Amino acid sequence: MTIKNVKKRWKDIPIGGVIVEPKTSLRNKTGNWRVQKPVFHPERCIHCMLCVPYCPEDAFIVEDGKLKGINYDYCKGCGLCASVCPVKAITMEDENVEQENDEK
C-alpha cells in the first residue's frame, strides 16, 4: 500500500528530520504559495531600497545600487514591499490561480 512517488522512502532519508547539507532552502521554491504578486514599475522607482530590508524572503534583485526586479521563485506575495514603497512603484495584483497551482 504505497504511493508511487519520486520522493524518497522512509529508509532512505536521514534520521530525525536532520538536514545534512547547507543551502537546501534554495530548492524550496516558495513562490507558488502566492495569492497576489508584487508588480514592479521601474519608471516610478526612486531606488530608496526600503523594500529590500522589509522583504522577509530577500526576493529583490539589486544591481549596482539599483532595484532591478523581483525573484518570483521565492516571493510569497506578502505585500510588505508594496505597503512600504513611498512612490507606489510596487503594486499587488491577483495571481493567475490556475497557472500557479501546479505543485510539483
Asked whether 31 and 72 are in contact (CB, 8 A), the reply is: yes
Smallest gap, in angstroms, from Cβ of residue 9 to another protein?
A: 4
Q: Which is nearer to another protein, 9 or 86 (CB)?
A: 9
Answer yes or no whether residue 27 interacts with another protein by CB under 8 A.
Answer: no
8 binds another protein (CB under 8 A): yes
Q: Among residues 93, 88, 102, which one has the least CA distance to residue 35? A: 93
Beta carbons within 8 Å of 87's beta carbon, 6+ residues apart:
44, 45, 46
Rule CB under 8 A: choose which of 17, 26, 64, 96 binds another protein: 17
Contact positions vs another protein (CB under 8 A) = 1-3, 5, 7-11, 13-22, 24
